[in-house]
Amino acid sequence: MKKSLITKETILLDMDVESKTDAVHKMCAHLFLLKKTDNPSLLYLDIMNREQVVSTFAGMHTAIPHTVSQHINEPVLCFVRVRGEDFTWDGDDEDVRFIFLLSAPAQDDLKKLRQSQSYVFSSVAQLISRPEIIDLWLSTHDEQVILDSLNQAFESNLNITM
Partner 1 sequence: MSGNSLKVVVQTTGRFLSGMVMPNIGAFIAWGLITALFIPTGWLPNESLAALVSPMIRYLLPLLIGYTGGKMVGGDRGAVAGAVSTMGVIVGAEIPMFLGAMIVGPLGGLAISRFDKYIHHKIKPGFEMLVNNFSLGIIAMLIALIAYVVIGPVVAVVTEALGNGVGWIVEQSLLPLVSIIVEPAKILFLNNAINHGVFTPLGADQAAQTGASIFYLIETNPGPGLGILLAYMVVGKGMAQKSAYGATVIHFLGGIHEIYFPYILMKPRLMIAVIAGGMAGVAFNMVTGNALVGPPSPGSVFALVLMSTKGTGLLLTLGSIAVAATTSFLIAAVLIRHDASACDDLDAAKAEVEANKTQAKGLQNEPAAQVRTIVVACDAGMGSSAMGATVLRGKIQEAGLNIEVTNSAINDLEDADIVITQQALSDRARAKLPHAQHLSIGNFMDASFYDELVAKLV
Q: Which of residues 67-96 bind partner 1 (CB under 8 A)?
A: 67-68
Residue closer to partner 1 by CB (options 52, 139) is: 52
Q: Does 122 bind partner 1 (CB under 8 A)?
A: yes
Taking the C-alpha atoms of residue 59 and residue 130, their distance in angstroms, rounded to an integer, is: 13
Q: Does 120 bind partner 1 (CB under 8 A)?
A: yes
* Binding characters for partner 1, 9-48, by CB under 8 A (x = yes): ----------------------------------------
Q: Does 2 bind partner 1 (CB under 8 A)?
A: no
Taking the C-alpha atoms of residue 55 and residue 69, their distance in angstroms, rounded to an integer, is: 18
Residue 117: which residues within 8 A CB-CB, separation 6 or more?
75, 102, 104
| Residue among 11, 17, 23, 57 that touches partner 1 (CB under 8 A) | 57
Compute the radius of gyration of the chain from its Cα atoms.
15
Task: Say if strands 11-15 and 66-69 run parallel, antiparallel, or are unpaired.
Answer: unpaired
Q: Please tell me the total number of residues recorded for the chain in this structure.
A: 162
Which residue ranges make up the site for partner 1 (CB under 8 A)? 50, 53-54, 56-60, 62, 64, 66-68, 102, 104, 110-111, 113-115, 117-126, 128-129
